[in-house]
Chains A and B, each alone.
Chain A
Amino acid sequence: MPAGLDALKHIVVLMMENRSFDHMLGGLKKKNSKINGLTGNESNPDVQGNEVKVSPTADYRGQLGHDPDHHFPGVDVQIYGGAPFAADRVPNMRGFIKSYSTQGTNAKESRAIMNYFSPEKIPVLTTLATEYALFNGWFASIPGPTICNRAFAHYGTSFGNVDMNMFLVSDADRAKIPSIYQRMKNGGHSAKLYYFDEPSSTMEIVNLIKEQSFFATFDQFLADCKSGNLPEYCLIEPNYSDHPGPGGGQLLANDQHPDHHVLAGDNFIGQVYNQIRSIPELWHSTALLIVYDEHGGLYDHVVPPSCTPDGFQATDAATNVPGLAFKFDRLGIRVPAILVSPYIPRGTIVPGPEDPANQRIFEHASIPATVTKHFLGNDIGTVREQNAQTFLDLLGDNLRPDNQCVFFGKH
């Protein structure tokens, strides 16, 4: 077993909101051609049929005041360029402006969907992407919105859901497909879901309410890191809203959901990283995965690959795409994903679809699959988990010294 895996005691997942790979990290291709980002020539037609190229002019907020569509029918338009469902239609990633133009935007505003960040504008995310392991092929689990995608991180399935509706996991399903937190508990391990605070709460409260011990706030995460009580597995949810804080303070949303300030999220990622990085015992024994739940309607140039069917099926009434009953056999759009550990060689790029011979395709079911494999050491899990790539093999034998592992400072 590699030394990094031998030393591993904690897996921490920070799941951000609604940004695509190209939007956040596409600009890194100019620095490293192995990163499957943007050449600058990628384009989509606007509503008049004019080609609009990608542009490194994404702003922290203000450009996406109309929330880009990321529900199943909208993502279908984005992937297939608006072609109606047919068995032989070909995905082309040409419907992003078309989709955004239906959200109340004018012609100029709808082109903002093609904007991406120049790397220096989001230094935390882009530094971690180049310092540790960057996944060229991590996709949302479903071409759809938040709730069903986050469910894959918690359960390895969305129980057949492709939308934002609340789904109550029945006791029978819960017994058959327990959440990763329940699995860890059943196996005598510790797991937690840290939400930011009560005014922000969690997106999972209705499904996990039965087990209070799984929940804690972000302040508790910080305290648990310091006191040596970090659970073996945890998932952190960011702050979903601007709201008053304790003592008359103001807490900014840091989830990066459009149109929340992207730098608030970049600094939040830095805070989570710094907390682990600054405690030597924790730093040497933790793998931190930073990943986004879905692309949020923002442009990405990589066609989502097909995948092993989930065993569930969503009817065309549920997908809201005429004729398309979804068998969970295609992944959603690509999202940023970075694995951090001092045992990962600097500048690791995990190949994706751009390198068919060596590609490794990840999705959110990779999270419970990895946690289960490492801590529970067996094959329990959903169909998607059993077919998902796991990521701990990226941890090697060599512990990088402190002078090779960054720390984020404040101006």
Chain B
Amino acid sequence: MALKDAPIVNMLSFDEKEAYNHDRPISSLVRTQLLHLHTAENLWLPPEDRTNININNLHTEKQASEYIQKVTALLHRHGRRQQQQAATSAKPKKARKAAKPRKKAASAGRKKSSKTRSAAKKRSSRR
């Protein structure tokens, strides 16, 4: 016995072109999603990566979906980058030394701050 033996119930068709309306005003749900993503942009993305789009000017589902797509992609890219950085900073010290020889002169200050950054990352990855 296989799928071909299954009783078939038909889904109902409808005029999808007629139903489609990307100019429909956004619902409170999508408005909320815009607000959340806008907040996420400002909280997580560095200023140079933000869209700088004023979400108060987004009124239709098409306008909202374009913004949502942009920010979702940016947040994913940022998240992946952070994961890569976390993975890099988690590499054993010797391997990192071998991979990137340190310059003498300007290193003192940077050395300190890089240590601090690395420690902060370790702390945050532990949380």
Binding site for B on A (CB under 8 A): 17-18, 60-61, 67, 121, 123-124, 127, 146-147, 164, 166, 168, 171-172, 174-175, 197-203, 205-206, 209-212, 215, 240-244, 250, 252-253, 257-259, 261, 263-264, 266-267, 270, 277-278, 280, 401-411
Contact = CB atoms under 8 A, between A and B. Distances in A.
B13 to A, nearest CB: 4
Given A199-B65, A209-B44, A242-B22, A411 B3 contact: no
Contact of A403 (B7, B9, B37): B7
A369 to B, nearest CB: 25
B65 to A, nearest CB: 4
A125 B36 CA distance: 31
Contact of A209 (B2, B7, B20, B75): B75
Contacts of B2: 280, 402
B115 interface: no
Contact of B40 (A203, A209, A277): A209
Contact of B10 (A203, A244, A411): A411
B69 interface: yes
B50 interface: no
Interface in B50-99: 61-62, 64-66, 68-69, 71-73, 75-76, 79-80, 83
Given A250-B20, A250-B22, A212 B76 contact: yes
A203 B33 contact: yes
Contacts of B111: none
Contact of A124 (B11, B20, B36): B11
A278 B10 CA distance: 15
A127 B9 contact: yes
B114 interface: no
A409 B20 contact: no
A151 to B, nearest CB: 12
B33 A201 contact: yes
B16 A241 contact: no
Contacts of B26: 241
B37 A408 contact: no
B5 A403 contact: yes
Given A409-B10, A411-B10, A243 B61 contact: yes
Given A199-B69, A212-B79, A244-B22, A408 B9 contact: yes
B29 to A, nearest CB: 6
Nearest to B75: A209
Nearest to B67: A199
A261 B19 CA distance: 7
Contacts of A405: 6-7
Given A166-B35, A242-B61, A406 B9 contact: yes
26 contacts: A146-B29, A166-B35, A174-B127, A198-B72, A199-B69, A205-B40, A209-B44, A209-B75, A212-B79, A215-B76, A241-B30, A241-B68, A244-B22, A259-B24, A261-B19, A263-B12, A266-B12, A401-B1, A402-B3, A406-B6, A406-B7, A407-B8, A407-B9, A408-B9, A411-B11, A411-B12
